[in-house]
């Protein structure tokens, strides 16, 4: 039996539209330039506060940027989102195979749970673990560390994600990662950071995990 940790944004659901729209609003409200949507894809996956600062938000303005982002994200943006094709079938097959499935995301936990419930994905997971609303648990390594305290230590554990944040966060706890090619990161960069394989589709990922 395996314990399989899944990232959310860019791995289970294509959440880019809502995230980019909300981050763009925050940058505009702070009087900053909004790059093209390709550049704004960098907001999908990493911790929000850290990414805002990379786009020119001053440290003292970071909480304001987050507040503006969430003012749109909670009622609208988090549902500008859709599960990737074949995700339901893959998760159902893994759960039916006796594996324990978990979500490990740097998105706030309440938001992640609401999204997974909206798209009928929550049913597959033993536990959904995300960030806190403050910065006490906002990175992938902190989320995974918190989750590991609530898991069966006898199981083989593997991480599934679409960015180097997933690879590095999992590796900090001695966990290997399979990269997915359909998300927002660079699979080859993930390989360079230690991903043990790259799955081109949910069907291929299922074969690897089984």
- Domains recognised in the chain with CATH numbers: 2-14+83-209 (3.40.50.1000), 16-79 (1.10.150.240)
3-state secondary structure of 119: coil
Closest CA to 3 of 89, 129, 118: 129
pLDDT tens for each residue of 12-40? 999 999 999 999 999 999 999 999 999 99
CA distance 99 to 83: 21
Q: Which residues are catalytic?
A: 7
pTM reported for the whole predicted model: 0.92
Q: How many residues does the chain have?
A: 210
Chain-wide mean pLDDT for the chain? 96
């Amino acid at each position: 039996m395996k314990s399989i940790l899944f990232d959310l944004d860019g791995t289970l659901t294509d959440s880019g539209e809502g995230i980019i729209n909300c981050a763009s609003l925050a940058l505009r409200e702070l009087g900053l330039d909004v790059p093209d949507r390709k550049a704004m894809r960098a907001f999908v996956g990493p911790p929000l506060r850290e990414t805002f600062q990379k786009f020119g938000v001053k440290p003292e303005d970071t909480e304001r940027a987050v507040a503006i982002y969430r003012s749109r994200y909670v009622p609208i943006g988090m549902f500008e989102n859709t599960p990737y094709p074949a995700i339901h079938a893959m998760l159902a097959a893994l759960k039916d195979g006796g594996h324990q499935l978990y979500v490990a995301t740097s998105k706030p936990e309440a938001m992640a749970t609401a999204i997974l419930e909206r798209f009928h994905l929550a049913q597959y997971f033993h536990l959904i673990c995300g960030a806190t609303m403050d910065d006490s648990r906002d990175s992938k390594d902190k989320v995974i560390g918190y989750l590991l305290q609530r898991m069966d230590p006898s199981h083989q554990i593997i991480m599934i994600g679409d960015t180097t944040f997933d690879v590095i966060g999992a590796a900090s706890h001695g966990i290997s990662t399979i990269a997915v090619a359909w998300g927002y990161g660079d699979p080859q960069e993930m390989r360079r950071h230690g991903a043990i394989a790259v799955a081109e589709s949910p069907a291929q990922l299922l074969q690897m995990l089984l």
